[in-house]
Structure 1
Amino acid sequence: MTQDEKTSRRQDCIFQAVIEALSEYEYYQLTIEDIAARAGVGKSTIYRWWKHKSELVLDTFRAHTASIFDLDLAKTLEDNLIQQLTRLAQALNHPVGRALLVVMANHRELAGNFFHDFLLPRREQMHALLQQSIERGEIRSDYPFDLMLDTLYGPIHYKIIFFNRMPDDAYIRALVSLVLQPVRMQASH
């Protein structure tokens, strides 16, 4: 086993320990000592890679959601949006997602880095999907798409943060339909 494989395996054990700990208690109770004990590593191993538990939570979320937000360019824009919003709701409703929301609210610099490194590339993928949808004739090209994306993703965060409820499938489908209505190409009569 190479050193990179050993490092990857240790980090996976640490991420799993974070998930287990956050399944039992809230972010503010999370300690590096507990994570180290659960992962079977020393605290120094964790501190070698992460300066603070907040950074560890961000990386755990990244690892936990590594491929769930991938788009399927063979599907319609509507199908992709429903899939994305459903997976976002599930990820944010997970204990690691809830901890991520706490981290982002309390650590502005980390939130900015997370946006730049994790969320912005996914938003760029969504813009590529929007462009493809324009080329397919699904939607018009003269629309404020950044506003449209904010309008789609905002209610998911709102429901989870303020109402402590995961949006159900009917809510997500209705939201996507409502937001896409003004941008859809009108059928010729």
Structure 2
Amino acid sequence: MIEIEKTSRRQQCILNAVVEALEQHEYSSLTIEDIATRAGVGKSTIYRWWKHKSDLVFDTFKAQTASVFEMDFSQSLEYNLEQQLLKLSKALNHQVGRALLVVMAEHREAAGEFFKQYLLPRREQTRKLIELAVQRQEIKADYPYKLMLDALYAPIHYQIIFFNQVPNAEYIHQLVTLILAPARCVGEVQ
């Protein structure tokens, strides 16, 4: 039990060191040596748990956002989508989030694993929320929801990557309203 706690503390120190390092320089300058020094561990300790610095960025992002993207199933689909996109915008605008975007572009295999392990479960949660919204008659059942999700999340990445802007609440509200409009049940008042 003590060894597990010690391991967990070391891993958390390493992830904290990744955040510190990324606050001072970009992903391209991130080194295992710097992280090890900041965390007060040897490089071999880091390599025991992570194969590459990209893995460290993924795990740091996951640790920072572990409870951030939870859905509130008592609220509407529109409310949840707006909250998710606001939180995603903030997370991706952080140094770790920006590093994550670089890693996903440069390391396709690692990005695929991140998608399977981290993003797919969240997408599954959103699918359940969509099913609930259909039951509540907020939206139609015969709408291409996978495409809808892509259409919602892509502009957030686009704004951050290409325009170096964090979408604000008004932008996100307009985006969600626009994307949900064709899915709304006929006669629903907005």
In structure 1, C-alpha distance between the alignment counterparts of 2:30 and 2:139, rounded to whole Å:
46
Partner of 1:175: 175
In structure 1, C-alpha distance between the alignment counterparts of 2:167 and 2:121, rounded to whole Å:
24
The alpha-carbon deviation at position 186 of structure 1 amounts to 2.1
The alpha-carbon deviation at position 115 of structure 1 amounts to 0.7
In structure 2, C-alpha distance between the alignment counterparts of 1:72 and 1:88, rounded to whole Å:
16
In structure 2, C-alpha distance between the alignment counterparts of 1:7 and 1:109, rounded to whole Å:
27
| TM score, norm. by length of structure 2 | 0.96
The secondary structure found in structure 2 opposite 1:72 is: coil
Matches within 5 A, 1:24-63: 24-63=24-63
The alpha-carbon deviation at position 188 of structure 1 amounts to 7.0
| TM score, norm. by length of structure 1 | 0.97
Partner of 1:90: 90
Q: Deviations over 1:124-169 (max 9, x none)?
A: 1100000000001111101000010001001000001111111011
The alpha-carbon deviation at position 4 of structure 1 amounts to 1.4
Partner of 2:141: 141
**2:170 partner letter:** A
Determine if the alignment matches structure 1 residue 163 to structure 2 residue 156.
Answer: no
Partner of 2:78: 78
Q: Percent identity?
A: 63
Seen in structure 2, the aligned counterparts of structure 1 residues 144 and 188 have a Cα distance that, compared at 3 Å, is closer
Partner of 1:121: 121
In structure 1, C-alpha distance between the alignment counterparts of 2:96 and 2:109, rounded to whole Å:
19
Where has structure 1 moved over 6 Å in runs of 4 or more?
none
The alpha-carbon deviation at position 187 of structure 1 amounts to 2.2
The secondary structure found in structure 2 opposite 1:172 is: helix
Unmatched 5+ stretches in structure 2: none
The alpha-carbon deviation at position 44 of structure 1 amounts to 1.0
Seen in structure 2, the aligned counterparts of structure 1 residues 183 and 17 have a Cα distance that, compared at 3 Å, is same
In structure 2, C-alpha distance between the alignment counterparts of 1:172 and 1:188, rounded to whole Å:
21
